[in-house]
Amino acid sequence: MEKFADIKVIAFDADDTLWDCQSYFDDVEREYCRLLAPYAPADTVSASLFATEEANMPLLGYGCKAFVLSLIENAVRLSGGRVDGTVVGELLRLGKRLLELPATPLPGVEATLAALYEQGRYRLAVFTKGELLDQQNKLRRSRLEKYFQHVEIVSDKTERAFLNLCRRMRVAPGSVLMVGNSLKSDVAPALAAGARAVHIPFHVTWKLEQVEDFEHTHMVRIERFADLLAYV
């Protein structure tokens, strides 16, 4: 595919695109299964947790705090109310650990953002979902915020949310390039809105983000973040 033409804004997802996030959640889930081993085997704990998260999504949305509430709710259910305060306290500690994950930029991220910023041809934006304070803190810890002219954190990334981003940045969707790891949350809504997209798969994907792979004339898939420079 040739370079994307007429791009004015490049919008980036944050978690698992700019820095690792899901791996830390997976580590917590493994520890969670160990803590609940007296009540159920690991596969049962994981399946029940996912069902709890999915059911809570309309009320709690995405992010660490929603995840911790689901951990506690699921622990109470699986244990028949027998889980003690020590375990609940450990779950809270695990949740706070997620709120402090380092947000170290993934390989090639900072050099690529710096190159795009120095070119001055595009406005760079972060367009991500989750809890406002948590995402703001991760962006600050990553030390990448200096490259972005616009940061937008939403409860969910939908076609409407993407169109709202375009309106706020005063740009037509066709002039926006969305870059992210999730086909469901990053690529599909952008394409539906009429934008272009770059998919950078991450080595782990949360169950709720897993969808069937697809191709699109306005999307490219790259293996390394730095490969983005070949398309803009």
- Residue 118 forms part of a structural domain: yes
pLDDT of residue 1: 61
pLDDT of residue 11: 98
Q: How many other C-beta atoms are found inside a 10 Å radius of the C-beta of residue 60?
A: 17
Q: Name the residue range of residue 47's domain.
A: 22-98
Q: Which residues of the chain have pLDDT under 70?
A: 1, 208
Task: Give 72-80's long-range contacts (Cβ < 8 A, gap of 24+).
Answer: 74/45, 74/48, 74/49, 75/32, 75/35, 75/36, 77/48, 77/52, 78/36, 78/39, 78/40, 78/44, 78/45, 78/48, 79/36, 79/38, 79/39, 80/39
Residues 15, 26: one domain? no
Residues 110, 199: one domain? yes
Residues 208, 122: one domain? yes
Q: Model-level pTM?
A: 0.90
pLDDT of residue 53: 93
Structural domains counted in the chain: 2
Residues 107, 153: one domain? yes
- Residue 4 forms part of a structural domain: no
Residues 14, 42: one domain? no
pLDDT of residue 98: 92
The DSSP string of 28-62 is: HHHHHHHHTTTTS-HHHHHHHHHHHHHHHHHHH-S
pLDDT of residue 204: 83
Residues 112, 226: one domain? yes
Residues 93, 61: one domain? yes
pLDDT of residue 122: 96
Residues 128, 13: one domain? yes
